[in-house]
């Protein structure tokens, strides 16, 4: 049995005051979904605030991004070592906004994945196709390419301490989630592709879904066999919505 993971990606949102209220409510409500792993990925500048708020809870701290380089002359960057130092447990890697808006290619994503694991941060590797690619019938080809690029560099064994997030680009922030069947088909494809290299690792791998997950569609998504939780953007900025999504992961698995 895979423990579901529900991770909040706040993106570039928040303020000290806003975060304090949100974190307090999430910590209080998280007790109702003890069988789900929760993670919060705030902007870097608020990581320490979140670290303090989440101390003595089971909720993991995550970064939204990290440098592909070790410490040194890389102005403006934040290294995996620093994120580990501030007690991050996870780091998003290859989010579609990083790939499209900041030009991160598969080589950069793979380097960040490796860097993350070198400092014992669990990478949450994001993969997903654009609408154009889906309409052209290229979804599996695109997902396979993004996954294989990382596995080719890091090796399948690294998936024992990593999470894969399937995030169709057309569903992120649009209000149009993939249907449970569409998402399940891609999740099953990912698991099967990993199984070709190692069946045990594939069975244990958490594959979470992201893209317009809301309180009212989470349960049907999380009920699918290969969907092990969610990566939540917009809805994670409201404690009641995020907690309702987390509870949906909990009740569908017990």
Interface mask toward ligand PEP for 1-20; x: CB under 6 A: --------x-x---------
Q: Which stretch binds ligand PEP (CB under 6 A): 80-88, 103-111, 147-155, 226-234?
A: 226-234
Q: Which of 95, 97, 104, 187 is catalytic?
A: 95
Q: Is 211 in the site for ligand PEP (CB under 6 A)?
A: yes
- The torsion defined by the Cα of 51, 19, 249 and 61, in degrees rounded to 10, comes to -20
Q: Is 141 a catalytic residue?
A: no
Distance in angstroms (rounded) separating the CA atoms of residues 91 and 38: 13
> Which residue is closest to ligand PEP by CB?
233
> Which residues in the 167-186 window bind ligand PEP by CB under 6 A?
167, 172-173
Interface mask toward ligand PEP for 147-166; x: CB under 6 A: --------------------
Q: Which of 97, 167, 176, 240 is catalytic?
A: 167
Q: Is 167 a catalytic residue?
A: yes
Q: Is 212 in the site for ligand PEP (CB under 6 A)?
A: yes
Q: Which is nearer to ligand PEP, 202 or 244 (CB)?
A: 244
Least separation in angstroms between residue 234's CB and ligand PEP is: 3
> Phi, psi (5° rounding) for residue 123?
-70, 140
Distance in angstroms (rounded) separating the CA atoms of residues 19 and 14: 6
Contacts (Cβ under 8 Å, ≥6 apart) of 210: 9, 126, 165, 166, 167, 171, 172, 230, 231, 232, 233
Coarse DSSP helix, strand, coil percentages of the chain, rounded to the nearest 5 percent: 50, 15, 35
Active site residues: 95, 167
Contact residues for ligand PEP, defined by CB under 6 A:
9, 11, 167, 172-173, 210-213, 231-235
């Amino acid at each position: 049995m895979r423990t579901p993971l529900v991770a909040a990606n706040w993106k570039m949102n928040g303020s000290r005051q806003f975060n304090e209220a949100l974190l307090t409510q999430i910590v209080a409500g998280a007790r109702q979904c003890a069988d789900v792993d929760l993670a919060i990925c705030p902007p870097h500048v608020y990581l320490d605030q979140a670290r303090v708020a989440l101390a003595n809870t089971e909720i993991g701290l995550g970064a939204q991004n990290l440098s592909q380089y070790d410490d040194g002359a890389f102005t403006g960057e934040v290294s995996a070592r620093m994120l580990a130092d501030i007690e991050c447990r996870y780091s998003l890697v290859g989010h579609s906004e990083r790939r499209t808006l900041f030009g991160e290619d598969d080589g950069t994503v793979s380097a960040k994945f490796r860097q993350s694991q070198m400092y014992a941060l669990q990478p949450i590797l994001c993969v997903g196709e654009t609408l154009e690619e889906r309409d052209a019938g290229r979804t599996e080809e695109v997902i396979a390419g993004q996954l294989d690029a990382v596995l080719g560099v890091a090796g399948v064994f690294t998936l024992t301490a990593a999470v894969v997030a399937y995030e169709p680009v057309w569903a992120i922030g649009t209000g149009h989630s993939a249907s449970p069947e569409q998402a399940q088909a891609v999740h099953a494809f990912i698991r099967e592709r990993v199984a070709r290299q190692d069946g045990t690792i594939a069975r244990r791998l958490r594959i979470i879904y992201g893209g317009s997950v809301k309180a009212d569609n989470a349960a049907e998504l999380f009920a699918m066999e290969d969907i092990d939780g969610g990566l939540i953007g917009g809805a994670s900025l409201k404690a009641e919505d995020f907690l309702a999504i987390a509870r949906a992961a909990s009740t569908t698995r017990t």
